[in-house]
Amino acid sequence: MLWDLGIAYICAASNDEDDRMPERHYVPVWDKASPLFDIIRKNETARNTSAFTDDPTTLDSARPKHVCRRSSRSKEHTVVEKSQAGLSYGISQVRYEGYRVCRWMGVTADVDANSKELSSTLKVHVWGGGVDRTVGLRDDIHLGSSRRDSKDYYFVQLEDDNGKPLSHAKTFQTFKDCSKNLIRITFSKIGKTSPKRT
């Protein structure tokens, strides 16, 4: 969980740097990762384990991780995908709704009507902020018991039932607002539908 949080800080900061935001905006966020990585190093030294410390780049806060990189970003911070070899799905819609329990935040994903014939073999992988879960389509993934405003913190990817990626890993935005604490993400076959955002 410490590593996930550290990566989330690095992703948020490095993406803001890519967007040419002022250093005073992203450098303090970047700095939050180093103490977390130091705790991991100390814990692994004390326990004589090396899950993270075997690879020196894993705990290097100066190196933005490949998962942080985005190919594009809309003004709402949701992402519409472009076709690339080997990846057949993209995000066509990100919709926000209120869930009946306000002290809750979660996400669910589905495919559009053009892709329903394959839905039984598709899985949704969501990670970030201590969450790392793979579920079937239309299953809810609980992100936490408190809502938060975030961007570049949580990631989602469509996979087949063997774990092979079928879409790029993309971020989705979350909100503190009770009317937006359930995020519904729709994937479409690339080239099938026009992107929508609400």
Q: What is the 3-state secondary structure (H, E, C) of 166-189?
A: CCCCEEEEECCCHHHCEEEEEEEE
Q: What is the pLDDT of residue 132?
A: 87
What is the C-alpha separation between 85 and 121, in angstroms, rounded? 20
Q: What is the pLDDT of residue 89?
A: 92
SS3 assignment, position 84: strand
Q: What is the pLDDT of residue 195?
A: 45
pLDDT in tens, 9-33: 778 777 777 777 777 777 787 778 7
Report residue 31 as tokens: 């700095």
- pTM for this prediction: 0.57
Q: What is the pLDDT of residue 194?
A: 44
Q: What is the pLDDT of residue 69?
A: 55
Instruction: Name the residue among 196, 125, 194 with its Cα closest to residue 159.
Output: 125
Residues of the chain with pLDDT under 70: 1, 49, 51-86, 117-118, 191-198
CB 156 within 8 A of CB 172: yes
Q: What is the pLDDT of residue 105?
A: 92
Instruction: Name the residue among 132, 191, 129, 125 with its Cα closest to residue 164.
Output: 125
Q: What is the pLDDT of residue 72?
A: 43
The CA–CA distances, whole Å, from 141 to 5, 6, 24, 49, 100 equal 18, 21, 34, 31, 15
